[in-house]
Every structure is written in structure tokens, then in C-alpha cells.
Amino acid sequence: MKQEEMAPSDLAKLTVVYSVPGVEAVTVRRDVPYRTTESGSLCFDVYYPPGAAESPLPAVLFIHGYSDAATPNVFGRTFKEMGHPVSWAQLIAASGVIAILYSNRQPVADLEAILQHLRDHATSLGIDGSRLGVFATSGHVPLALSLLVQAERRAVSCAVLVSGYMLDLNGFTSVADMQKSYGFANPCAGRSMDDVRRDVPMLVVRAGRDQFGVNESLDSFIGGALRRDLPLRLVNHAGAPHAFDLFDDSEATREIIREIIRFMRFHLSGPAEAGHHNGSNE
């Protein structure tokens, strides 16, 4: 069955088509509160590497660009309970990096709130606040990009952006049009490539046969990033559909997933480990 034909409740159960040893040994600290709202506490889950004795460790925050106030009505569960981000978080943790999934109500304000909470409570969470990466896919990407157009922000060490809506450039309006259809947060509306920071390495993954109108904005972003000589790594998954990590069970997909993990480990590692990765993975 094609992904656009699947019921949302079935989509919510799907997991990434790749796994690694140690996934079953990942430990999860669930429902840590980070913000109190009128409707109750907003919480996050922390996925720790197996036997994580070393502390602090780098972390990856999975950006949530939709509101959970609406999401449960469609998918039957919140973002941090969905199979896709959960399976990714397990992969990242099994690879030695802490992964964080969170619930929200107001995507923009709640992202700021959880970032502040992670900074304020890094020690008790076992997180190295100076080594924080962000991961976003599809309609979550515009919110992640908002962290890459704030010159004063220094907390983000790297970003992985997979098959995502980027910026409306060159007169295109595809991101704004899709925002109206799908309801994701788009705080970067009106921004240009000149606003994008030069100090955050980005891995951008493109699905060659994306069927949801992503590649118009993605291709314009890639061209603009190259013209500005930004620290961009591009992976084009030729012939792959949107959400290929759920629907294209192939060795090409598995290698791209491994590349995403290598990228994050390299850019979030300490100096000694970075030297090791430089020789073995890059």
C-alpha cells in the first residue's frame, strides 16, 4: 500500500527499516516535565545509550513541528509515541548519543521552552549542553530551520534535515501552501538564504521521487546553500519516495540511515573522538 493511502493510525505504527545491535538495551526516562500549561504538563522522553556510564553525553533533539493538541485526533498518539521518531531515537541512542522526543501544544514556543529546560538541567539529565544536534523530517523541518536563522543562538552543533519543506525562495510558495494544507509551524516565512547561519553543519537528505511537493523548496535551498558556501552535506536518494526510511526497505536506504548516524556522531563527538571518526567514518 502506498503511504498516501494508509490510515493515519497505521502510519503512526511504522518504524524505520533499519536496526543496530544494542537497540533492545536502550534505556528510556519517560515523561520528564519541561513546561506547565493550562491543559497540564508538557513532557519529554530521554533515550540513553546502553550502559551509559560516561556523562555528560551529546544529545539529539527531534524537532516537533506540529501541535500535539491536534495530532492525537489524527494519529491516535502524540509525536513522542509514534513509531517513526521512537525507532529513530532508539537507533541514535544505540549508536552512543542521547535522543530526546517531546510533546507540545504550541510548536514554536514549546521548542524554546524545551531548549531552555535542556540547558538549565543538562547536568541532571546527563547531557552535554554544548553538543546538541537537531533532527527533523518533512513538515517538522521549517521549525528546525528557525534555529538555523538565529545568529545569536549557539546551542545547536549540527542539523539533520530529511525530505523536508525548507524556505520559500525565488518566488515559490510551496512551503506556505503546504503549511495551509498540513498545519505545520513555519516560523521562517519570509526568510532568505542570507539569514541562514554559516556555523552549523547541515546534512540535507533528498528523496528523488518525493510525492508531497517537498523538492521545490528543497532544491532551491540546496542551490542557495552552495552559492553561499554553507557547511552543507547533501545526500540524494535517487528514485526514493517521501518517508523512504519507512517505505523503501533497500540497502540504499539503510546506507543513508547509517550516514545520518555517522554525521551526527562526528559533529557531536569530543575532540579525541572526532579525530577517530575523521579517520574511520568520514
Q: What total number of domains does the chain contain?
A: 1
Q: Give domain status of residue 88, yes or no.
A: yes
For the record, the C-alpha cell of 118 comes out as 535542556
The verdict on residue 30 lying in a domain is yes
Q: Can you give the CATH number for the domain in which 81 is found?
A: 3.40.50.1820
The answer to whether residue 3 sits within a structural domain is no
- Taking only the tens of pLDDT, the chain with its 282 residues reads 677 778 888 999 999 999 999 999 999 999 999 999 888 899 999 999 998 877 899 999 999 999 998 877 788 899 999 999 999 999 999 999 999 999 999 999 999 999 999 999 999 999 999 999 999 999 999 999 999 998 777 789 999 999 999 999 999 999 999 999 999 999 999 999 999 999 999 999 999 999 999 999 999 999 999 999 999 999 999 999 999 999 999 999 999 999 999 999 999 986 434 433 333 333
- Is residue 183 in some structural domain? yes
Whether the link from the prior residue into 56 is cis, omega within 30° of 0, is: yes
Tell me, what's the pLDDT at 1? 63
With the C-alpha atoms ordered 131, 104, 14, 90, is the resulting torsion angle positive or negative? Answer: positive
Q: Please state the pTM of the whole predicted model.
A: 0.93
Q: Is there a domain that residue 22 lies in?
A: yes
Q: Is residue 5 part of a domain?
A: no
What secondary structure letter does DSSP report for 49?
P
Q: Which residues form the domain of 162?
A: 17-280
Does residue 12 fall inside a structural domain? no
Least Cα distance to 85 among 111, 60, 107 occurs for 60
Q: Is residue 116 part of a domain?
A: yes
